[in-house]
Structure 1
Amino acid sequence: MGFHFRFGPGDLLRCRFSISPQWETQAAVRTLLRPGRQAYHLPWLRQIRAAADRLDLRPLWLLMPQAGHNPDFLSPPPIGPSVTFEEELARVRAADPEEAREDLRRSLVCTPGAAESDLGRRMLADPARAVRELADLYEQAWAALIAPHWPRLRGLLEADILFHSRRLAAGGLEALFDGLHPDLTWQGSTLTIRRRTHHDRSLDGQGLLLMPSAFVWPEVVGGYDPPWQPTLVYPARGIGALWTASAGPTPQALARLLGRVRADVLCALHEPASTTALAHRLGLAPSTVSAHLKTLHAAGLVISARHGHQIHYERTPLAIALTTGTSP
Structure 2
Amino acid sequence: MSPSPASESVAWLRLTAASGRHPVFGDPGPLARASLAHPDVALLADLLPHNGDTYTPDLLTPQPGTDAHRRDLIDEQIAQIEAAAQEDLETQVFTYTETHWSRPLRAATRRIAESGRMQRRLANGLARFWRDTLADGWPELRSIIDRDIAHRATAIATHGIGRTLGALHPDVDWAGDAVTLARSRDGEIDVTGRDLVLAPGVLNWSDVVIQVDVPGQFVLYYPAQRIGAGRDRGSGGIVRVVGNTRATLLSDLDTARSTAELATRLGYAPATVSYHLGALHRARLVTKVRDGRYVLYQRTAQATRLLEEAHD
Q: Same fold (TM over 0.5)?
A: yes
1:62 corresponds to 2:46: yes
Higher relative contact order (CA 8 A, sep 6+): 1
For 2:127, the equivalent position in structure 1 comes to: 139
For 1:227, the equivalent position in structure 2 comes to: 215
For 1:100, the equivalent position in structure 2 comes to: 89
Residues 3 and 200, structure 2, Cα contact 8 Å, conserved in 1: yes
Identity of aligned residues (%): 27
For 2:2, the equivalent position in structure 1 comes to: 18
Residue type at the aligned position of 1:77: Q
Partner-residue secondary structure (3-state), 2:6: helix
Partner-residue secondary structure (3-state), 1:234: strand
Residues 59 and 214, structure 2, Cα contact 8 Å, conserved in 1: no
Partner-residue secondary structure (3-state), 2:9: helix
The CA deviation at 1:119 is: 2.7
State how far apart, in whole Å, the 1-side matches of 2:150 and 2:95 are: 36
CA offsets 1:30-57 (integer angstroms, 9 cap, x no match): 2324567621121x62474554454454
Can you give the 5+ residue segments of structure 2 that lack an aligned partner in the other structure? Answer: 236-243, 249-266, 268-312
Residue type at the aligned position of 1:114: P
For 1:114, the equivalent position in structure 2 comes to: 104
For 2:163, the equivalent position in structure 1 comes to: 175
C-alpha change, 1:138 and 1:243, in structure 2 (3 Å) is farther
Residues 77 and 228, structure 1, Cα contact 8 Å, conserved in 2: no
State how far apart, in whole Å, the 1-side matches of 2:138 and 2:17 are: 21
State how far apart, in whole Å, the 2-side matches of 1:114 and 1:223 are: 22
State how far apart, in whole Å, the 2-side matches of 1:181 and 1:32 are: 26
State how far apart, in whole Å, the 2-side matches of 1:93 and 1:46 are: 28
Residues 211 and 234, structure 1, Cα contact 8 Å, conserved in 2: yes
CA RMSD of aligned residues (A): 2.9
Give the alignment's TM-score, normalised by structure 1. 0.63
1:27-106 maps to which residues of 2 (within 5 A)? 27-34=11-18, 38-42=22-26, 45-46=28-29, 48-49=31-32, 51-52=34-35, 54-55=37-38, 57-65=41-49, 66-67=52-53, 69-82=55-68, 83=70, 84-106=73-95
CA offsets 1:68-125 (integer angstroms, 9 cap, x no match): 542222221012132421121111111222332222113431334433x233322333
C-alpha change, 1:47 and 1:170, in structure 2 (3 Å) is farther
State how far apart, in whole Å, the 1-side matches of 2:107 and 2:231 are: 38
Residues 16 and 33, structure 2, Cα contact 8 Å, conserved in 1: no
For 1:14, the equivalent position in structure 2 comes to: none
Residue type at the aligned position of 1:133: R
Paired positions, count = 232
For 1:289, the equivalent position in structure 2 comes to: none
State how far apart, in whole Å, the 2-side matches of 1:214 and 1:231 are: 15
The CA deviation at 1:137 is: 0.9
Residues 60 and 134, structure 1, Cα contact 8 Å, conserved in 2: yes
